[in-house]
Homo-oligomer: A and B are copies of this chain.
Amino acid sequence: MHIAFLGLGGMGQPMALNLLKAGYALTVWNRSPEPAQALAEQGATVAATPADIAPASVLITILADDIATEQVVVGLGALAALPRGAIWINMATVSVAFTEEMEKRAREKGIAYIAAPVLGRVDVAAAGNLNILTAGEATLLDKVQEIFDVLGQKTWRFGERPAQAATVKLAANFMLASAIEAMGEASALVEAYDVAKGDFLGMLTSTLFAAPAYKNYGAMIAEDRYSPAGFTMKLGLKDVRLAQQAAESKNVPMGIAGVLRDNYLDALAHGDEKLDWAALATVSARRSGQS
């Protein structure tokens, strides 16, 4: 199986490297050339453009967003370069509407589309421990399962329509943002009574909320440590907006999503767009006059 891998950012590079190490023939491309060179040293072929990916029959992309994905895959020719019967696996977090549109475009060219966004940050990707959230035809998922086994600790299947995995990923990010916001509001409340938020969050994340998401973001909030950003405020707002769009298409009201949106905007209006998205918690502190 020859794989083309486009998008060698923080997540893509270690994922591609894991595929190389597992013995796959890999053709790689990235907008800025450095990450591709590093992989070339490990045996990858570097494509001059996204169109130069023959003889790959599997295309993996993990690009920044809808627009970047469309530019690279459609605009710069990757999709056109694939043979009929090939499989495109999109592992990025993109909108549900875009997912549906790309699936249609691919199908028109005889190419199957799988949505497979991931949970996990850079270190998890490097360790091959991602959780992979997939949707697509079962026989296709079976065919590429070996790839997911290299990249992740577990592959989850959510249905036959790629939009389903895209939705699950946005719903998961919504859950994370909700957890951050709840910690922010609760922290503002306890701080108003002179309880250190670190004491409060430390207790919670050792008991009822002893989960990775809470421990990770709880510690950042407790220490007011929002940079360097693992995932920026600006991206946090983007994903909330994508969840709202997916919800709007199906007439699903989401009250917390509205709160998240407003508070992300408040933070951006105060110049915090490059902080980690856990800095959402600073909005509750500022609004209550604590900072």
A252 engages B175 (CB within 8 Å): no
A127 to chain B, nearest CB (A): 14
A168 to chain B, nearest CB (A): 6
Distance, CA A209 to CA B178, complexed state (A): 12
B186 engages A171 (CB within 8 Å): yes
Of A32-40, A74-82, A240-248, the stretch lying at the interface with chain B is A240-248
A163 engages B193 (CB within 8 Å): yes
- Give me 11 other A-B pairs in contact (C-beta within 8 A), A167-B195, A178-B185, A193-B246 excluded: A131-B203, A164-B194, A164-B195, A168-B200, A172-B204, A175-B186, A175-B209, A189-B247, A192-B251, A210-B211, A270-B289
Interface size on A, residues (CB 8 A): 75
Of listed A186, A199, A244, A247, residue having the most chain B CB within 10 A: A186
> Is there a chain B Cβ closer than 8 Å to A219's Cβ?
no
Distance, CA A193 to CA B271, complexed state (A): 18
> Is there a chain B Cβ closer than 8 Å to A253's Cβ?
yes
Distance, CA A203 to CA B161, complexed state (A): 18
Of A85-93, A139-147, A258-266, the stretch lying at the interface with chain B is A258-266
> Is there a chain B Cβ closer than 8 Å to A47's Cβ?
no
> Is there a chain B Cβ closer than 8 Å to A23's Cβ?
no
* Neighbouring B residues of A214 by C-beta, 8 Å: 211
B156 engages A119 (CB within 8 Å): no
Knowing A256-B259, A259-B259, A288-B251 are in contact, say whether A178-B175 is a contact too (CB < 8 A): no
Proximity string of chain A (93-126) to chain B, C-beta cutoff 8 Å, 1 when within and 0 when not: 0001000000000000000000000010000000
Knowing A174-B189, A189-B171 are in contact, say whether A209-B208 is a contact too (CB < 8 A): no
Closest to A246 in B: B189
Distance, CA A204 to CA B171, complexed state (A): 10
- 9 cross-chain pairs, A with B, having the tightest CB-CB distances, nearest first: A258-B258, A211-B211, A269-B289, A192-B250, A253-B262, A255-B259, A178-B182, A251-B269, A252-B288
* Neighbouring B residues of A211 by C-beta, 8 Å: 208-211, 214
Distance, CA A174 to CA B199, complexed state (A): 17
> Is there a chain B Cβ closer than 8 Å to A284's Cβ?
yes
Of listed A244, A253, A284, residue having the most chain B CB within 10 A: A253
B252 engages A189 (CB within 8 Å): yes
A262 engages B269 (CB within 8 Å): no
